[in-house]
């Protein structure tokens, strides 16, 4: 079965600083990958998804960007963080071998606080 | 209008009780439906998919009502460990990469 790793687990960053969050997937190949953000007490907001290396679809215009340099690696970045970027960032995957293509699994998440 | 709406709760129930949540969706062309469970400060975990014919997994039963555009989750014989937030998820027919999450329904099972 697949395993999704995310790091760091928690992060405290000042406003205006850059950001790089990493997600890697083990145990499957050619997954579809997703970045979500969950603000405190809120639902999940889809930020980006990717169906292959170098392919990124952006769902919400903002100061974040994503990249997929390798099949099982998904990176979320920002050049300058805003206070509103604080939240719980979750990486997810679908298209896992042996599962239906729309079953989604999540990594443990990164909790980001921007001060 | 939100794609997916849930009563935020909290639902406070005693151990052993039966509790049910509903989730409404706005797009009649929605294709796939799921319930996820999220513990405090943790990632969501798939609880069950929801099929047109309904499905049951132990104490949990999920049903889909396409005519009224809602899905439901029934939990029988509630356990303390069932305390969590339950998220409803819907995907549209036209884009299997879009997953619309409800904000969740919080359940507190008390001794």
List chain B pLDDT tens, one digit each, 111 residues. 788 999 999 999 999 999 999 999 998 887 889 999 999 999 999 999 998 888 999 999 999 999 999 999 999 999 999 999 999 999 887 776 788 999 999 999 999
Q: Determine, for residues B31 and A102 on separate chains, whether the beta-carbon distance falls below 8 Å.
A: yes
Q: Determine, for residues B41 and A105 on separate chains, whether the beta-carbon distance falls below 8 Å.
A: no
pLDDT, residue A100, reads 62
DSSP secondary-structure letter at A107? -
pLDDT, residue B97, reads 76
Q: How far is B78 from chain A (nearest CA, A)?
A: 24
pLDDT, residue B44, reads 96
pLDDT, residue A93, reads 93
Q: Which of B64, B69, B30 is nearest to B48 (CA)?
A: B64
- CB-based contacts of B70-73 (< 8 A; 24+ apart in sequence): B70/B22, B70/B23, B70/B24, B70/B25, B71/B22, B71/B23, B71/B25, B71/B33, B71/B35, B72/B20, B72/B21, B72/B22, B72/B23, B73/B20, B73/B21, B73/B23, B73/B35, B73/B47
Q: Determine, for residues B32 and A32 on separate chains, whether the beta-carbon distance falls below 8 Å.
A: no
Query: Mutate which of A55, A59, A91, A102 to disrupt the B interface (most B C-beta within 10 Å)?
Result: A102
pLDDT less than 50: residues of chain A:
none
Q: How far is A112 from chain B (nearest CA, A)?
A: 12
Partners of B96 on chain A (C-beta within 8 Å) are: 101-102
Q: Can you tell me the distance from the alpha carbon of B25 to that of B34, in angstroms, rounded to the nearest whole number?
A: 12
pLDDT, residue A98, reads 58
pLDDT, residue B29, reads 83
Q: Determine, for residues B43 and A102 on separate chains, whether the beta-carbon distance falls below 8 Å.
A: no
């Amino acid at each position: 079965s697949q395993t999704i790793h995310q790091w760091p687990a928690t992060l405290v960053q000042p406003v205006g600083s850059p950001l790089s969050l990493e997600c890697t997937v083990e145990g499957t190949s050619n997954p579809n990958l997703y970045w979500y953000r969950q603000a405190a007490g809120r639902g999940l907001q889809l930020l980006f998804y990717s169906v292959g290396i170098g392919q990124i679809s952006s769902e919400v215009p903002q100061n974040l960007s994503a990249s997929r340099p390798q099949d099982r690696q998904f990176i979320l970045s920002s050049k300058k963080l805003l206070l509103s970027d604080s939240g719980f960032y979750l990486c997810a995957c679908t298209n896992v071998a042996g599962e239906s293509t729309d079953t989604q699994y999540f990594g443990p998440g990164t909790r980001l606080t921007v001060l | 209008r939100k794609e997916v709406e849930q009563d935020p709760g909290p639902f406070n129930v005693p151990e052993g009780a039966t509790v049910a949540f509903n989730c409404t969706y706005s797009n009649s062309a929605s294709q796939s439906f799921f319930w996820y469970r999220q513990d405090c400060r943790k990632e969501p975990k798939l609880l069950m998919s929801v099929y047109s014919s309904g499905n049951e997994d132990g104490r949990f039963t999920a049903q889909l009502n396409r005519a009224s555009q809602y899905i439901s989750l029934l939990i029988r014989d509630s356990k303390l460990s069932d305390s969590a937030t339950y998220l409803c998820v819907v995907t549209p027919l036209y884009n299997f990469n879009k997953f619309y999450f409800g904000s969740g329904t919080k359940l507190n099972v008390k001794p």
